[in-house]
Amino acid sequence: MLTTISRRLAIGLAAALVISTTALAQATNQVKFQTSLGDFAVEVYPDKAPKTVENFLQYVKDKQYNGTLFHRVIPGFMVQGGGYTQTMAEKPTREPIPLEAKNGLKNDRGTIAMARTSNPNSATAQFFVNVVDNNNLNAPSPDGHGYAVFGKVIAGMETIDKIRAVPTGRQDVPVTPILINSATLVK
């Protein structure tokens, strides 16, 4: 009888550990951004874009995004950030990651994707949030590659809409800087 109780207790503890570990893993799939125009949160999808999510979350853990700007704002397109300091100096990055655009996720309003150059495998730290459905960015896009969506805004889309509405100057840079104060994992 004691063995049966011990076995049941061990099974119950193991199940609780699996549930709490799963909940913890899911919690780290969310990132909260605090900006000078308000907060927003994104959920990332490691099952769809594993290398992209790993890269993005490592930048969050390294505090790469803290003190950077939304440096490119195009109201009918997207808002881009994560690469420049308040003085418009480009921050150093790790090596680029391979493109994961053919993952079934679409560049729809509210999704977050990696910015890149014309080289499809050039994404590093910069990201953008689509403010409209951008079907032309889906794989295969006109350039044949597409842009890798890896998550979605789950709270604070009104902040993204505030950002997209700011006046911009040369090269779509906001006239008044929009600061990313912090990007942190939600626990």
Q: What is the per-residue DSSP string for 54-108?
A: HHHHHHHHTTTTTTEEEEEEETTTEEEEEEEETT-PBPP----B-----SS----
* 116-145 tens-digit pLDDT: 999 999 999 999 999 999 999 999 877 789
What was the pLDDT predicted at 143? 78
Mean pLDDT across the chain, nearest whole number? 90
pLDDT of residue 142: 77
Residues of the chain scoring pLDDT < 70? 1-27
What's the pLDDT at 7? 56
Residue 79's beta-bridge partner residues?
73, 129
pLDDT at 148: 97
Domains in the chain, start-ordered, CATH in brackets? 30-185 (2.40.100.10)
pLDDT at 26: 47
pLDDT at site 139: 92
